[in-house]
C-alpha cells in the first residue's frame, strides 16, 4: 500500500492533469502533428505493445501526457527520402 508521501509524489510528475489527453484528444493532437491515428488504433497499439505512444492509466482509463505524445510523434517522422530503405529493398529481392 502506498504511503501519503508516495501518493503525493505520484501527482508531482512532469505532466500536470491539464496536460493529460484522453485517447480521442490524443488522436486529434497527433493529427495536428502530422500523424493520423484513430483512437481505436491507439488502443490496439497499447494492448499489443506494438510501439505506440506511452500513456498512464487512471482507474483503467488511458491518458496520454502531451509532452510524451509530442516526443513520440517526433520520433515517428523520418527525414525526406528518395527511395525505400535498404532493408525494404532487400525484402523485395527475396
Residue 42 within any structural domain of the chain: yes
Domain membership of residue 83 (yes or no) is no
54 inside domain: yes
Q: Does the pLDDT of residue 15 top 50, yes or no?
A: no
pLDDT of residue 17: 56
> Would the pLDDT of 50 be above 70?
yes
Instruction: Return the C-alpha torsion angle 23, 28, 30, 36, nearest 10.
Output: 100
Q: What is the mean pLDDT of residues 75-80?
A: 85
The mean pLDDT value of the chain amounts to 83
For residues 71-76, give the mean pLDDT.
93
Number of domains in the chain: 1
Q: Which residues of 59-80 are buried (b: 16+ CB within 10 A; e: fewer)?
A: eeebbbbbebbeebbeeeeeee
> What local confidence, expressed as pLDDT, does residue 26 receive?
97
Residue 71 falls inside a structural domain:
yes
Compute CA distances 47 → 28, 33, 56, 61, whole Å.
20, 23, 13, 13
Question: pTM for the full model?
Answer: 0.67
Domain that holds residue 30: 23-76
Amino acid at each position: 500500500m502506498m504511503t501519503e508521501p508516495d501518493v503525493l509524489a505520484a501527482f508531482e510528475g512532469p505532466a500536470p492533469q491539464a496536460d493529460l489527453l484522453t485517447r480521442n484528444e490524443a488522436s486529434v493532437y497527433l493529427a495536428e502533428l502530422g500523424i493520423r491515428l484513430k483512437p481505436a488504433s491507439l488502443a490496439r497499439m497499447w494492448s499489443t505493445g506494438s510501439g505506440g505512444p506511452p500513456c498512464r492509466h487512471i482507474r483503467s482509463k488511458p491518458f496520454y501526457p502531451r509532452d510524451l505524445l509530442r516526443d513520440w510523434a517526433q520520433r515517428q517522422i523520418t527525414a525526406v527520402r528518395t527511395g525505400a530503405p535498404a532493408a525494404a529493398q532487400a525484402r523485395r529481392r527475396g
